[in-house]
C-alpha cells in the first residue's frame, strides 16, 4: 500500500463517519424541532381553551348580574367578556389541528358560536330572566365541549412529550454511537499509521544506527508502505554494495601487498649481497645488482602510483596535464615496452604514414594502452597475435588492441567496465581485482573519449580507445 492510498483511505473513512454523525444529528434535530413545535402549539391551544373557559364563565356571571341589577358597569363587563370569547375563539384556529382533535374542536367551536348567537348584546333584561334556565344549559354544554377539547389536547400533549423524550434518548444514543465510531475511526487510523509508517520508520532508523555503529551486516526490514519498503530496499542494497566494495577494497589491499612482496623480496635479496660486512662484488655484477634494484624499485613505484590513481579516480580528483602528442608514438612506446617480455605472443603494430596529433595527458593515455595491451597478453595464455592499430576518422583518433584469446561472453560485456567486476569466463585465466578497465574508462571519459569492446567467447576481443583528435574533454 502506498502512503497516498493510506492517507486517502483514512481521510475517506473519517469523512464518512463525520458525515454519518452529522446526518444523524441533523435528522435528530429536525425531528426534535418538529415535535417541540407540535408540543408548543398544543400548549398554546390548551392556554386558549382555558381562557375560553374563564371568559365563558365570566360572561355568564356578568349576564346574571345584568339581569339582576341592570347596572351599566355589569353591562360593560358582560360585553368585554363576550369580546374576549370571540378573540380567544380565533386563537386555537391558527395552529394546525390534528386529525384526532378535529372533531372535538369543531364541536366546541359550534357550541361557543351557538352560545354567542343565543346571547345577543342588546338582549332585554326580561328576556334574560326568562331564558336563564336555558342559558345555564347552554353554558354547561359549551363548557363540557371545551373540557373534552382540553382533555383531547392534553392527551396529545402527553403523547408529544413522550415522542420528544424518545427523540432525546435516541439523540443521546446516536451521539454516543457517533462519538464511539469517530473514536474507533481515529484509533484505527492511528493503528494503521503505527503499523504501516511509525514502526517501519523505527526499524529503518534502528538499522541505520546499527550500521553507523559498525554493524555492517545490519539490514532494514522490508515492510510497511511501498515508499518505506522502497527506502528499506535502497538502504539494504546500499549496505550490501558497501559491504561488497569494502570486501573488494580489502582484496585490493591484499593483492597489492602480495604483489609488493615479490619486488621487496628481490630488493632484500639483492641488498643482502651488499652488506657492510662483506666485500663489494665486481663492477659488472654490482652494476647488474644496482640495475635490478632500480627495476624493482620502479616496479614498486608503479604499483603505488596505480593505487593512488585509483584512489584519485574514486574521489574525482584526477588531474590531466595535456600536451599535443603523436598517437603513433604513444602506441609504439607501449608495444616496445611489452615486446621483450611477451615472447610467446606476436605483437603487431599498424600505424598510418602521417602523424596523428592528439591533445591529451600522455602518461594517462599510456596507462590506458598499457592496461589494454597487458590484458590482451594475459587473456591469450596460449600465445597468438596481439595487434595494435592506430587510425584517424574525422575528428576522432582510434587506437584498437585486438587479441585471439579466451574472449568474453555476451552477457559479461555489459559489465566489463564496472568497478571490481571480472568476467567469470576469464577470471580463472589471469589474476586481478577488476579495476583496470574501470580506471581506463574513467581516464578516457576525462579526455572526452570512450572505450568500445567487441568480443566473442573463445575467439578473442578487440578494445578500441576513441579520443578527439583536437582539444576536447574537460580536465578532471
Q: For 172-226, how does the pLDDT look when each residue is reduced to its tens digit (9 = 90+)?
A: 787 787 778 778 878 887 887 787 777 888 888 888 888 888 887 888 888 777 7
CATH of domain 323-468: 3.30.565.10
The residues spanned by each domain of the chain are 3-187, 226-315, 323-468
How sure is the predictor about 130, in pLDDT bands with cuts at 50, 70 and 90? very low
| Cα–Cα separations (whole angstroms), residue 145 to 39, 134, 185, 284 | 22, 17, 58, 154
What distance lies between CA 412 and its chain's CA centroid? Answer: 37
What pLDDT does residue 47 have?
A: 83
* Mean pLDDT over the full length of the chain: 78
Answer for the pair 386, 377: CB distance below 8 angstroms, yes or no. yes
Q: Which of 330-344, 419-433, 452-466 is least confident?
A: 419-433
With cell 522490508, the residue in question is 222
DSSP bridge pairs for 465: 399, 451
What distance lies between CA 166 and its chain's CA centroid? Answer: 48
- Across the beta sheet with 396-403, the strand order is 345-350, 384-393, 396-403, 460-468, 450-456
Closest C-alpha among 208, 274, 196, 262 to residue 239: 208
Q: What angle do CA 427, 433, 438 make, to 5 degrees?
A: 105
Looking at domain 3-187, its CATH architecture is: Up-down Bundle (1.20)
SS3 348: strand
Which three cell numbers mark 372?
Answer: 589494454
H/E segment holding residue 390: strand 384-393
CA-based torsion, 181, 183, 186, 190: positive or negative: negative
Helices (H), 379-426: 410-413
Supply the pTM of this predicted model: 0.47
Inter-helix orientation angle 72-90/3-69, to 10°: 150
Looking at 3.30.70.120, 3.40.50.300, 1.10.287.130, 3.40.50.10470, the CATH number of the domain 226-315 comes to 1.10.287.130
Q: Is the pLDDT of residue 11 over 90?
A: no
What pLDDT does residue 397 have?
A: 93
Amino acid at each position: 500500500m502506498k502512503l497516498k492510498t493510506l492517507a486517502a483511505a483514512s481521510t475517506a473513512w473519517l469523512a464518512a463517519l463525520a458525515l454519518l454523525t452529522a446526518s444523524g444529528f441533523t435528522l435528530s434535530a429536525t425531528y426534535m424541532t418538529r415535535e417541540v413545535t407540535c408540543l408548543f402549539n398544543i400548549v398554546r391551544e390548551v392556554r386558549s381553551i382555558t381562557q375560553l373557559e374563564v371568559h365563558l364563565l365570566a360572561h355568564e356571571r356578568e349576564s346574571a348580574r345584568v339581569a339582576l341589577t341592570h347596572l351599566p358597569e355589569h353591562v360593560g363587563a358582560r360585553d368585554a367578556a363576550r369580546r374576549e370569547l370571540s378573540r380567544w375563539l380565533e386563537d386555537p384556529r391558527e395552529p394546525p389541528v390534528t386529525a384526532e382533535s378535529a372533531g372535538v374542536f369543531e364541536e366546541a367551536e359550534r357550541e361557543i358560536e351557538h352560545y354567542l348567537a343565543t346571547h345577543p348584546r342588546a338582549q332585554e333584561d326580561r328576556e334574560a330572566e326568562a331564558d336563564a334556565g336555558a342559558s345555564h344549559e347552554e353554558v354547561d354544554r359549551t363548557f363540557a365541549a371545551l373540557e373534552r377539547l382540553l382533555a383531547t389536547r392534553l392527551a396529545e400533549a402527553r403523547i408529544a412529550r413522550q415522542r420528544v423524550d424518545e427523540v432525546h434518548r435516541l439523540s443521546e444514543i446516536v451521539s454516543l454511537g457517533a462519538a464511539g465510531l469517530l473514536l474507533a475511526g481515529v484509533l484505527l487510523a492511528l493503528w494503521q499509521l503505527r503499523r504501516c509508517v511509525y514502526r517501519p520508520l523505527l526499524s529503518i532508523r534502528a538499522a541505520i544506527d546499527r550500521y553507523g555503529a559498525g554493524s555492517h551486516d545490519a539490514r532494514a526490514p522490508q515492510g510497511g508502505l511501498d515508499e518505506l519498503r522502497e527506502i528499506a530496499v535502497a538502504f539494504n542494497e546500499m549496505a550490501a554494495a558497501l559491504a561488497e566494495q569494502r570486501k573488494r577494497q580489502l582484496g585490493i589491499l591484499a593483492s597489492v601487498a602480495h604483489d609488493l612482496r615479490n619486488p621487496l623480496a628481490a630488493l632484500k635479496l639483492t641488498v643482502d649481497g651488499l652488506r657492510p660486512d662483506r666485500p663489494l662484488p665486481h663492477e659488472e655484477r654490482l652494476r647488474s645488482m644496482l640495475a635490478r634494484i632500480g627495476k624493482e624499485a620502479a616496479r614498486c613505484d608503479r604499483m603505488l602510483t596505480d593505487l593512488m590513481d585509483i584512489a584519485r579516480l574514486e574521489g574525482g580528483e584526477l588531474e590531466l596535464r595535456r600536451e599535443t602528442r603523436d598517437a603513433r608514438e604513444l602506441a609504439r612506446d607501449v608495444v616496445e615496452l611489452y615486446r621483450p617480455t611477451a615472447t610467446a605472443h606476436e605483437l603487431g603494430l599498424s600505424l598510418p604514414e602521417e602523424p596523428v596529433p592528439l591533445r591529451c595527458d600522455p602518461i594517462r593515455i599510456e596507462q590506458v594502452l598499457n592496461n589494454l595491451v597487458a590484458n590482451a597478453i594475459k587473456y591469450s595464455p596460449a600465445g597468438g597475435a596481439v595487434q595494435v592499430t592506430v587510425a584517424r576518422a574525422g575528428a576522432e583518433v582510434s587506437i584498437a588492441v585486438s587479441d585471439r584469446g579466451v574472449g568474453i561472453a555476451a552477457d559479461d560485456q555489459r559489465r566489463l567496465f564496472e568497478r571490481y567486476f571480472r568476467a567469470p569466463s576469464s577470471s580463472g585465466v589471469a589474476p586481478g581485482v577488476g579495476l583496470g578497465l574501470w580506471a581506463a574508462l574513467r581516464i578516457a571519459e576525462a579526455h572526452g573519449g570512450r572505450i568500445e569492446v567487441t568480443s566473442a567467447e573463445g575467439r578473442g576481443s578487440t578494445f578500441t580507445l576513441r579520443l578527439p583528435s583536437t582539444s576536447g574533454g574537460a580536465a578532471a
